[in-house]
Amino acid sequence: MSRCRRLSALSLPVVVLLLLLTRRLDLTQLSTQFALSAIVSPVQALYPPPQLLARRVAERTPPHLARAQWRAQYAPSNVSIVSIVSSGYRQWTDHLVANMRALGLLSYLRLITNDGRCHAYLLASGINVQLTPSSTRDGSGSAELRYGTVGYQKLVHQLPAVVLREFRVGRSVLFLDADITLLANPLAYLAPLGGDMYVQDDLRKPDSRFNGGFFFAAASSQTERVFIDMDEYIRAHPTTNNQPAFNWALLRHARRLRIHVLDPLLFANGQAFFDLGTAATRILPVLVHHNFAVGVGTKVERARRHGLLVERADLGSLLANYSMAHLSRTES
């Protein structure tokens, strides 16, 4: 009994970390960063996992009504899944499109590019793709339009404008980088929680803690202000990466928004999944973000090795590849 009282006195994130450590994960660095990150931000952590909260909500709402409410709130007419792409990352763009098709989410997808070659390729494939304003386009349409180039920076700096455009037609936004693998429909995990924003924790220093490459933002006047401020920050700091701008704007409004930090085991970044041992567990994540790696080839090969590169638009094939890649690790 005394042990239970001691545990109940601990914060939920600490309890989760203790449970993880019992699985023999190498998460010393993760737990230290988590403890620090919990101190520096007022943003609410999302524990327990969303499906448990969904069960509690369902107990108070008749199942047929809960399903109808979810379908209405998260229908393609009300939510856009947005990604910014270029021909410099053609393999990841193909991966993203196949992943959306496998999950039945292609009708939600809106791709943004400033690359004429990429636009023509996707349009010919029947994908919903939009060119950015001419002032931001890369004239060459070159395969060299990659991270670190001026053209690529102009492209990704369109993020706040793209989100605001969706808000103004009444659509909420799930934004994701192309180098993400979805093993389940993430919208189903967000539906019961009623938050304004859901963010992925990179477990970094406060000014770049939350990942700018995966978030959900519900359309509202409060969340609109975040992206207006992000756009202003980018205009004032034209050489900045998006992540510091996103964090600056997000934390500026954190006390006025219901912000949930997603469970890092279910919404795993590259460090948590590949470097800190999460991949060796039996936990099936909702998504894996292939960041914390240098070079396109490195990311692609690492994703393929772990069964996370979607090369066929078939959910069964994706889950089978993932299971086969991880079966030997979890059995040993």
Q: What global pTM score does this model have?
A: 0.77
Condensed to tens digits (0 to 9), the pLDDT of residues 150-191 reads: 778 889 999 999 999 999 999 999 999 999 999 999 988 776
The secondary structure element, H or E, covering residue 182 is strand 180-182
Respond yes or no on whether the N-terminal peptide bond of residue 76 is cis (omega within 30° of 0). Answer: no
Residues 6+ apart with CB under 8 A from 173: 79, 80, 81, 82, 163, 166, 167, 216, 217, 219
Question: How is residue 297 written in tokens?
Answer: 């080839």
- Residue 230: is its pLDDT beyond 90? yes
Domains of the chain: 13-331 (3.90.550.10)
Where does the pLDDT of residue 52 fall: very low under 50, low under 70, confident under 90, or very high at 90 and above?
very low
User: Running DSSP on this structure, what letter comes out for residue 89?
Assistant: G
Where does the pLDDT of residue 134 fall: very low under 50, low under 70, confident under 90, or very high at 90 and above?
low
**The predicted structure's pLDDT at residue 22:** 44
Query: 263 and 189 in contact (C-beta within 8 Å)?
Result: no
Where does the pLDDT of residue 202 fall: very low under 50, low under 70, confident under 90, or very high at 90 and above?
confident
- The β-bridge partners of 216 are 174, 198
**The predicted structure's pLDDT at residue 45:** 35
Query: 167 and 80 in contact (C-beta within 8 Å)?
Result: no
Task: Summarize the chain as % helix, strand, coil (round to 5).
Answer: 55, 15, 35
Query: 305 and 273 in contact (C-beta within 8 Å)?
Result: no
Question: How is residue 175 written in tokens?
Answer: 């934004």
Mean pLDDT of 126-143: 69
Rounded distance between C-alpha atoms, residue 264 and residue 285, angstroms: 9
Q: Is 79 helix (H, G, I), strand (E, B) or coil?
A: strand
User: Running DSSP on this structure, what letter comes out for residue 310?
Assistant: -
**The predicted structure's pLDDT at residue 67:** 60
Where does the pLDDT of residue 295 fall: very low under 50, low under 70, confident under 90, or very high at 90 and above?
confident
Which amino acid is it at 183? L
